[in-house]
Amino acid sequence: MRGIIIPSLLYVFLIFGIWTPLLYILIYHNHVNNFEKKTQEPASIWSLERNLPRQVIHDSEQIPGPYVRYERPDEDETKEEKSFLKMSKDFNYSSSEFIDGFLKYGLNPILSKILGSEREVPDTRNKKCFQNHYPTNLPTASVVICFHNEEFNALLRTMFSVINLTPHHFLEEIILVDDMSNFDDLKEKLDYHLEIFRGKVKLIRNKKREGLIRSRMIGASRAAGDVLVFLDSHCEVNKVWLEPLLQAVAKDPKMVVCPLIDVIDSITLEYQPSPVVRGAFNWYLQFKWDRVFSYEMDGPEGPTTPIRSPAMAGGIFAINRHYFNEIGQYDKGMNLWGAENLELSLRIWMCGGQLFILPCSRVGHVSKRRPQNQPELTKAVMHNSLRLVHVWLDEYKEQFFLRRPGLKSVAYGNISERAELRKRLGCRPFQWYLDNVFPELET
């Protein structure tokens, strides 16, 4: 009997011992495959631009994309991917609710609705920032937020985070500029939800689409605070975000300051800390981030050191209201979106101001995904870039045209007012900017 039992047991053990792990591997592999397929689905409807090498320049006559200004430097992508994988299990990326909403808003509509109007975000500041104390008599701020067809909850979260995390005596008002949105929920429903902020919020509705550049000017013209603070309509500010900005502007009215932009993932909506960076660009006038090395923060202020920045990423910054008017606001001949950030950055540096990023002020921003093919936007970026080139680059405009020869003969409207402004302000040549602010921009 024993002679039969032992070989039988051995046989059973062999069968199960080999097949169970094999079966497990098979099931696991299948699961991972399905999971990966799911996580890739958004890439099939949107071009996930960060997967492309950033410096690849196409030959087309259009200013090359990606039109995403707040992306993080590449080093952070593994982290971003990981969080994306973690959350994506809960999602059915092929549901029409997700796809339609993602195409419409550029961010995860389902999660945004679940998060609603308020949430807490992690405090991403370096611990050294906690030691900073700010006076109680800082100037007041008018926060200007323009929006065009934004996701309703993301807009509300922007508003609530500002209200919740800003000491009320520093907040003169929030000015919301609706740039002719046509989404239903941004009409009466928004009016209804803003009732709660009555007295603190001014809502301006443009009668025609102006683009974000003129919309910001419209908002600024209605502001009463000492300092203008511009935000996008899909931001969440962090703890003590405003005080460092106000303090810097109070010390020097010609100092323009940006918070460090944390990333809110467009798919997971997770709030992720960013490394310390400075804003830069290339000769195509594409914005990019440059890492700041730790030795650059070796001084007495350590990781709280303000970072001198050749450029700002987009429209998240604070500026003395009178100084904004004095240096010529924005170029109102620019359309829709794009290049206004670089134009303002050059103008600040070349005309006697300074631009810094303050690592102790943190604001989260959703880098929304845009559809690739947007001829109107491409046209505006080209038009706006040409205006910048002709007003500010002097002989270095050839560097731009060397890379965009087709744009040399393209019309860019009348720039005489802006050229006049440059003269009136006694601005320095672009050569000075290259020598003193951005020597890394090599020809």
SS3 332: coil
Q: Is 126 exposed, middle or buried (0-12, 13-18, 19+ CB in 10 A)?
A: middle
Question: Tokens in use for 39?
Answer: 């996580």
Report if residue 262 touches Mn ion, rule: CB under 5 A.
Answer: no
Residues numbered 292-311 forming contacts with Mn ion, rule: CB under 5 A: none
Nearer to ligand UDP, 69 or 383 (CB): 69
Q: Which of 71, 172, 210, 232 binds Mn ion (CB under 5 A)?
A: 232
- Among the listed ranges 189-197, 229-237, 319-327, 392-400, the one in contact with Mn ion (CB under 5 A) is 229-237
Residue 59, Cβ neighbours under 10 Å: how many?
6
- Helices 375-392 and 340-350 pack at an angle, to 10 degrees, of 10
Site string for ligand UDP, 143-182 (x = CB under 6 A): ---xxx-x----------------------------x---
Q: Does 225 bind ligand UDP (CB under 6 A)?
A: no
| Residue 1 one-letter amino acid | M
Please, what is the minimum distance in Å from the beta carbon of residue 235 to ligand UDP?
Answer: 8
Give the count of residues interacting with ligand UDP (CB under 6 A): 16
355-386 burial code (b ≥16 CB/10 A, e <16): bbbbbbbbbbbbbbbbeeeeeebbbbbbbbbb
Q: Tokens for 367? A: 């880098």
Q: Are 230 and 175 in contact (CB under 8 A)?
A: no
69 binds, among ligand UDP, Mn ion, none (CB under 5 to 8 A by kind): ligand UDP
- Which residue, 223, 233, 438, is CA-closest to 324? 223
DSSP state for residue 45 in the 8-state scheme:
H
CB of 212 to Mn ion, least distance (A): 9
User: In whole angstroms, how far apart are CA 247 and each of 252, 279, 297, 306, 341?
Assistant: 9, 21, 20, 12, 23
Q: How far, in whole angstroms, is CA 198 from its chain's centroid?
A: 28
Q: With binding defined as CB under 6 A, does residue 342 bind ligand UDP?
A: no
In whole angstroms, the minimum distance from the beta carbon of 181 to ligand UDP comes to 8
Instruction: Pick the closer one to ligand UDP by CB: 69 or 321.
Output: 69
Nearest residue (CB) to Mn ion, 233 versus 320: 233
Least distance to Mn ion, CB of residue 232, Å? 4
CB 249, min distance to ligand UDP, A: 21
Query: Closer to ligand UDP at the Cβ: 263 or 351?
Result: 263
Q: Which of 238, 155, 224, 243 is nearest to 191 (CA)?
A: 155
Residue ranges in contact with Mn ion by CB under 5 A: 232
Residue ranges in contact with ligand UDP by CB under 6 A: 69-70, 146-148, 150, 179, 211-212, 215, 232-233, 314-315, 336-337
